[in-house]
Amino acid sequence: MKYLSLEDFVHEGEEMDSLYRLVNIASRRANQLNKPESRPLVKTKEQKSTIIALEEILQGKVWYT
């Protein structure tokens, strides 16, 4: 995976406000992806759930409210 900065994570014009929030969201989504009934929301070649979670956040499929 390429190097990404916090500013790369934008959803509907709203930037990610802190690295802590990004890590929290990614870890929760990665835990969901580790369950057998869960499927990724994006197409990817990656196998690691943490990388898949970050890609989902980067593409705007997963966000916080």
For every residue of 40-63, DSSP letters joined together read: -SS--S---HHHHHHHHHHTTSS-
Q: Is 41 exposed, middle or buried (0-12, 13-18, 19+ CB in 10 A)?
A: middle
pTM of the full structure: 0.85
| Per-residue pLDDT at 1 | 62
**Could you tell me what percent of the chain has a pLDDT over 70?**
98
